[in-house]
Amino acid sequence: MRDEEPRAASGSLPQEFDRAGTVQRGPLVDPFGRAITYLRVSVTDRCDFRCVYCMSEHMSFLPKQDLLTLEELDRVCSAFIARGVRKLRLTGGEPLVRRGIMGLFASLARHRTTGALDELTVTTNGSQLPKYAAELKSCGVERINVSLDTLDPDKFRAITRWGALDKVLAGIDAAQAAGLKVKINAVALRGVNEDEFPQLLEWAHGRGMDLTLIEVMPLGDVGTGRLDQYLPLSLVRARLSERYTLEDIPYRTGGPARYVQVKETGGRLGFITPLTHNFCESCNRVRLTCTGTLYMCLGQEDAADLRAPLRASEGDDLLHAAIDEAISRKPKGHDFIIDRRHQRPALARHMSVTGG
C-alpha cells in the first residue's frame, strides 16, 4: 500500500469562486483519496481523574492563555464542518470539566439542526454526567462514550487515583435517563481488570450498552512501566470465547473498533487494537488539540498550527488555507505499523496530547 503514489498533489479539491467572487472551498480529501469527515477535538488537557495509564499523579497543565477560547474552538469546528466533516467528538483530558463547555455544545448544536453534522458526541469519564446529561441531549448529542475499566470501587480508585465509582455510575444512570445511548470503553490492564471482563460485559449488555475494550498504548510518561500494563486483546478474546459465542459482525461506528455479537447476551463487544492491527487505509479523521494544533495521524509527529491563522484575522480564509495545507500532508499510516513490519520496537506518542 505504501508504494502507491498519492492521488493528488494538493490535499483538497481546487478552490472555486461563486458569482460574488467569494471563495468556495471544496470537501477535504487527503493525498490518498480519503475524505476527512471526522474531527476529534481535545477541549482541555485537564482532568478530575489521574488514570494510571493516562497521566502521572503530578501533572503540569498548559497555561490558560495557550488554550483556544470556546469561541475559537467553535470557529475551527465550524470551518471543518463547512468542509465536509460530519462527525465531531469532543474529548480531552476530561471535556466536561472545561468551564463553560456546555456553551460550546449549545452553539455547535446549530450544525445538528441544519443537518450539516450527522453526529455530535463526547468521550467522558462520566463524573460530570449527573450535571450535564440532559443538556447534552438537548444539544443534539445522541450517543456518548463513557470510560469505565472496572465495577470494583477499590480497583476503580486505584486505576483513576482520584475518581469515585458511585459518581460515574450515577452519571451513566443520568445519561440513560436523559435518553443518551451509552457505549462503555474499558482499557484492558494486565493483572488489574483482566478477570473482570465477563462481569463488565454482562453488566453493560444487561443495560443495553455496547462494551469496547482498548489495548493500552504506550503514550506519554505516566510514571509506571508500560509493559506491566499491557494485555493483548487477542488473549482476552480467546479467553472470552471459552465462555461466550462471539460472532464477527460488520457493525462500525466510524471508529477503529471491530465488533462481535455475543450470542448469550445479545450485546455487542468491540475491540480496539491499535498496536496489533491498523486501519489506516480507511482513516477519515484528524485530531485537534486544545491549543489549536492539528494532528493528521495519531501515530506521527507531524502537526499543523491552526491557532496562528485563526488569530491572524477575523475572517476564515487563512484558517481554511492552513487546513488545506495540513490535509495535503496527511500521511498514509502509522509509523508503529511500519516498525512492526521491520521488527523494530513500536513507537507511539501523542495520545495524552490529542485526547485518544
Task: Tell me if 127 contacts ligand SAM by CB under 6 A.
Answer: no
User: Least distance from C-beta 144 to ligand SAM, angstroms?
Assistant: 10
Cβ pair 104, 74 in contact under 8 A: yes
Binder among 55, 240, 275, 288 for ligand SF4 (CB under 6 A): 55
Binder among 147, 265, 300, 328 for ligand SAM (CB under 6 A): 147
> If contact means CB under 5 to 8 A according to the sort of partner, which of ligand SAM, ligand SF4, none does residue 91 touch?
ligand SAM
Q: Which of 123, 148, 125, 144 is nearest to 134 (CA)?
A: 144
User: Least distance from C-beta 233 to ligand SF4, angstroms?
Assistant: 18
Task: Tell me if 280 contacts ligand SAM by CB under 6 A.
Answer: no
> If contact means CB under 5 to 8 A according to the sort of partner, which of ligand SAM, ligand SF4, none does residue 143 touch?
none
Task: Tell me if 217 contacts ligand SAM by CB under 6 A.
Answer: yes
Task: Tell me if 351 contacts ligand SAM by CB under 6 A.
Answer: yes
Task: Tell me if 50 contacts ligand SF4 by CB under 6 A.
Answer: yes
Cβ pair 213, 272 in contact under 8 A: yes
Rounded to whole angstroms, what are the CA distances from 145 to 34, 295, 306? 25, 22, 27
> If contact means CB under 5 to 8 A according to the sort of partner, which of ligand SF4, ligand SAM, none does residue 214 touch?
ligand SAM
Q: 3-state SS string over 170-197?
A: HHHHHHHHCCCEEEEEEEEECCCCCCCH
Rounded to whole angstroms, what are the CA distances from 336 to 88, 131, 218, 278, 301? 26, 40, 11, 9, 12
Grid cell 495509564 — which residue?
Answer: 53
Q: Exposed (0-12), middle (13-18) or buried (19+): which is 331, by Cβ within 10 Å?
A: middle
Residues 233-252, mask of contacts with ligand SAM (x by CB under 6 A): --------------------
195-224 residues in contact with ligand SF4 (CB under 6 A) are: none
> If contact means CB under 5 to 8 A according to the sort of partner, which of ligand SAM, ligand SF4, none does residue 354 touch?
none
Cβ pair 132, 102 in contact under 8 A: yes
Stretch of 32-40, 51-59, 217-225, 236-244 contacting ligand SF4, by CB under 6 A:
51-59
Task: Tell me if 326 contacts ligand SF4 by CB under 6 A.
Answer: no
Q: Which of 128, 125, 142 is nearest to 182 (CA)?
A: 142
User: Least distance from C-beta 189 to ligand SF4, angstroms?
Assistant: 12
Stretch of 28-36, 70-78, 86-94, 298-306 contacting ligand SF4, by CB under 6 A:
86-94
3-state helix, strand, coil in the chain (%, to 5): 35, 20, 45
Going by the DSSP 8-state scheme, the letter that residue 15 receives in this structure is P
Q: Which of 182, 189, 185 is nearest to 155 (CA)?
A: 189
Task: Tell me if 210 contacts ligand SAM by CB under 6 A.
Answer: no
Cβ pair 98, 43 in contact under 8 A: yes
Q: Which of 274, 257, 255 is nearest to 340 (CA)?
A: 274
Task: Tell me if 184 contacts ligand SF4 by CB under 6 A.
Answer: no
Task: Tell me if 182 contacts ligand SAM by CB under 6 A.
Answer: no
Residue 70 vs 217, nearer CB to ligand SAM: 217
- Distance (Å, rounded) from C-alpha 225 to C-alpha 218? 9
Stretch of 91-99, 269-277, 296-304, 306-314 contacting ligand SF4, by CB under 6 A:
91-99
Task: Tell me if 95 contacts ligand SF4 by CB under 6 A.
Answer: no
User: Least distance from C-beta 195 to ligand SAM, angstroms?
Assistant: 19
Q: Hey, what amino acid is at 24?
A: Q
Residues within the interface to ligand SAM (CB under 6 A): 47, 53-54, 91-92, 94, 123-125, 147, 185, 187, 214, 216-217, 219, 351, 355-356
* Residues forming the site for ligand SF4 (CB under 6 A): 47, 49-51, 54-55, 92-94, 125, 147
